[in-house]
Amino acid sequence: MDLPVMPPVRPMLAKPAAKIPPGMNYEAKWDGFRAVVFRDGAEVELGSRSTKPLTRYFPELVEALRANLPERCVIDGEIIITRDDRLDFEALLGRIHPAASRVRLLAETTPASLVAFDLLALGDRTLLEAPQQERRAALADALRDAAPPVHLAPVTADLARAHEWFQQFEGAGLDGIIAKRPDLPYRPGERTMVKVKHERTADCVVAGLRPHKSGPVVGSLLLGLYDDAGRLQHVGVCASFPMRQRESLMRELEPLRMADAAGHPWAEWGEESAHAHSRMPGAPSRWSSGKDLSWIPLRPERVCEVAYDHMEGDRFRHTTQFRRWRPDREPEGCDYRQLEEPVSYDLRRVLGG
């Protein structure tokens, strides 16, 4: 491979904002695997956000990229999987498998697509210093004949349209809106774009904690919601605390600490069979390989309010943000019924531009 922009390349990132800023170009924020695609003739490489190779996990996508991309190019995009007209991140996670036979099977049963939204190089020319507006125009021209599963991300400069997309596209499983300055050069690894994500709140039971890697302070709080059968399901964590707050949380939660997990709603988390029907802390994961997943069980008597963006199945898609304690709420009243569901939206309308 001999391209004007060579791997590895860390993709350009975005910093969060509460509102969609004016005077920019706007795209949907896709919920998939960020990927920088390098093509030089028959050679195709997929680099992840951390620059680790993704190529072997998506053989069907590699073939599609050979058929739809320019002969020599470097493209920034998102690998996604769709199911029932929505993005399916859980299915995407399942594609990262060590067994080649499993990879081939999943390529047939849950094929992936690529949504392209930036062009870093074309032919012998690097576009890293070109303004975003120019790169986008070149990308649209390069992909004018592309067909699914390769898609050109829709874009608009209309702020009102961006607000419409922010509300509508969530129903198809998208994260929010990305805003890019039209004069912005491509800056690998830098947070030079803006992202605006959905935020909602939920009252959750605090049923456990994980210590911080630095010592005996809170690293993350393990959150639960009750299902219709009255079982406390593990739905996610909140983990972003200043160090002083981590220390005070450990002291505050010490009276709820259990000597062991006996009698705890998640007492069976250590048994592999228990993870088949519910998500519990300590579940084995290819993504958490090597991490310390030990946890401290707490009596599920405290309720906190957390902010979240959206759900993935029956749990929070991303780490939540701690907002406040809710001493006025009973843990038994914290169930899934409080969660707001977005209005459904056909993903084909998004991919169709």
pLDDT at 31: 87
pLDDT at 286: 45
Domain with CATH 3.30.470.30 in the chain: 13-198
Average pLDDT of the residues of the chain: 90
pLDDT digits (tens, 9 = 90+) for 252-284: 999 999 998 899 999 987 665 554 544 455 454
Does residue 291 register a pLDDT over 70? no
pLDDT digits (tens, 9 = 90+) for 94-105: 999 999 999 999
The larger pLDDT score, comparing residue 347 to residue 289, is at 347
pLDDT digits (tens, 9 = 90+) for 59-70: 999 999 999 999
Domain with CATH 2.40.50.140 in the chain: 200-338
pLDDT at 137: 98
pLDDT at 341: 67
pLDDT digits (tens, 9 = 90+) for 11-34: 999 998 989 999 999 999 998 999
Percent of the chain with pLDDT over 90: 73
By CB neighbour count within 10 A (0-12 exposed, 13-18 middle, 19+ buried), where does 298 fall?
A: buried
Confidence tier at 293 by pLDDT (50, 70, 90): low
Which among 8, 37, 1, 57 is positioned nearest to 142, based on CA atoms? 37
Question: Residues with catalytic annotation?
Answer: 29
Question: What is the H or E stretch that residue 203 is in?
Answer: strand 200-212
pLDDT digits (tens, 9 = 90+) for 190-244: 999 999 988 788 999 999 999 998 888 999 999 999 999 999 999 999 998 999 9
3-state helix, strand, coil in the chain (%, to 5): 25, 35, 40
The fourth-level CATH superfamily of domain 13-198 is DNA ligase/mRNA capping enzyme (3.30.470.30)
By CB neighbour count within 10 A (0-12 exposed, 13-18 middle, 19+ buried), where does 304 fall?
A: buried
Beta bridge partners of 113: 80
CB 139 within 8 A of CB 85: no
pLDDT at 200: 83
Chain CA centroid to CA 52, Å? 17
Mean pLDDT of 296-308: 94
Q: Which of 29-33, 88-92, 154-158, 172-176 has the lowest mean pLDDT?
A: 172-176
Up-side HSE of residue 167: CA atoms within 13 Å toward CB? 5
pLDDT at 83: 87
Mean pLDDT of 321-341: 88
CATH of 200-338, one of 3.20.20.220, 2.60.40.10, 3.40.30.10, 2.40.50.140: 2.40.50.140
CB 338 within 8 A of CB 352: no
